[in-house]
Amino acid sequence: MTQQQLHPQPQPPSIPSIPSPWLSVLVPAYNVEPYLEECLASVMEQTANLPGVEVLVCNDCSTDGTGALMRRLAARWPGRCTLMENERNRGLSATRNAMLDVARGEHLWFLDSDDKILPGSMAALHGIITAHSPDVVLCDFAVWREQPRLKHRLRGERHRRTFAGAARMLLTDRCGALVDVLMPGELHAWSKITRRTLWGRDLHFPVGQCYEDMTSMPLVMLRAASFYYADEPWIAYRQRSTSVLANPNLSKALDQSMALKEFHLALQASGCANHAGLQLALAHQNARNFIGSMRFVDAMDEANPQKRDAIRRIRANFLAASPLSPEALCKAYGARGWWLRRAKLRRWLKVSEAA
Q: Which of 168, 203, 238 is the last residue of a domain?
A: 238
Residue 4 within a domain: no
Half-sphere exposure of 192 (CA within 13 A, CB side): 28
- Whether 2 shows a pLDDT value over 60: the answer reads no
Residue 215 within a domain: yes
My answer on whether 229 and 255 are in the same domain is no
For the whole model, what pTM was predicted?
0.91
Residue 348 within a domain: yes
- CA angle in degrees (0–180, nearest 5) for 274-279-284: 180
Q: Which of 190, 215, 238 is the last residue of a domain?
A: 238
My answer on whether 148 and 217 are in the same domain is yes
Number of structural domains (the chain) is: 2
- Distance CA(71)–CA(231), nearest Å, equals 35
The answer to whether the CB of 353 falls within 8 A of the CB of 298 is no
Residue with more model confidence, 227 or 148 = 227
pLDDT digits (tens, 9 = 90+) for 68-101: 999 999 999 999 999 999 999 999 999 999 999 9
My answer on whether 344 and 268 are in the same domain is yes
Contacts of 135 (CB under 8 A, 6+ apart): 194, 195, 198, 223, 224, 225, 226, 227
Residue 244 within a domain: no
My answer on whether 146 and 270 are in the same domain is no
My answer on whether 171 and 30 are in the same domain is yes
The arithmetic mean of pLDDT across residues 119-141, rounded, is 98
My answer on whether 301 and 169 are in the same domain is no
- Distance CA(96)–CA(111), nearest Å, equals 10
- Distance CA(72)–CA(192), nearest Å, equals 29
My answer on whether 75 and 129 are in the same domain is yes
- Whether 102 shows a pLDDT value over 60: the answer reads yes
| CATH code of the domain covering residue 130 | 3.90.550.10
Residue 2 within a domain: no
Half-sphere exposure of 165 (CA within 13 A, CB side): 23
At residue 89, what are phi and psi to the nearest 5 degrees?
-65, 125
My answer on whether 231 and 313 are in the same domain is no
The answer to whether the CB of 100 falls within 8 A of the CB of 203 is no
Q: Which of 185, 203, 238 is the last residue of a domain?
A: 238
Residue 5 within a domain: no
For the chain, the average pLDDT equals: 92
My answer on whether 65 and 91 are in the same domain is yes
Taken in order 349, 350, 351, 355, the sign of the CA dihedral is: positive
pLDDT digits (tens, 9 = 90+) for 284-308: 999 999 999 999 999 999 999 999 9
My answer on whether 209 and 316 are in the same domain is no
| Confidence tier at 245 by pLDDT (50, 70, 90) | low
My answer on whether 140 and 271 are in the same domain is no
Domain extent for 316: 250-354
Is the previous residue joined to 134 through a cis bond, with omega within 30 degrees of 0? no
The answer to whether the CB of 91 falls within 8 A of the CB of 55 is no
pLDDT digits (tens, 9 = 90+) for 35-73: 999 999 999 999 999 999 999 999 999 999 999 999 999
My answer on whether 191 and 55 are in the same domain is yes
Residue 108 within a domain: yes
Residue 94 within a domain: yes
Strands 227-238 and 116-117: antiparallel
- Max distance between CA atoms of the chain, in angstroms, equals 61
- Distance CA(302)–CA(181), nearest Å, equals 37
| Confidence tier at 6 by pLDDT (50, 70, 90) | very low
Q: Which pLDDT does position 15 carry in this prediction?
A: 43
pLDDT digits (tens, 9 = 90+) for 257-294: 999 999 999 999 999 999 999 999 999 999 999 999 99
Other CB atoms within 10 A of residue 168 CB = 11
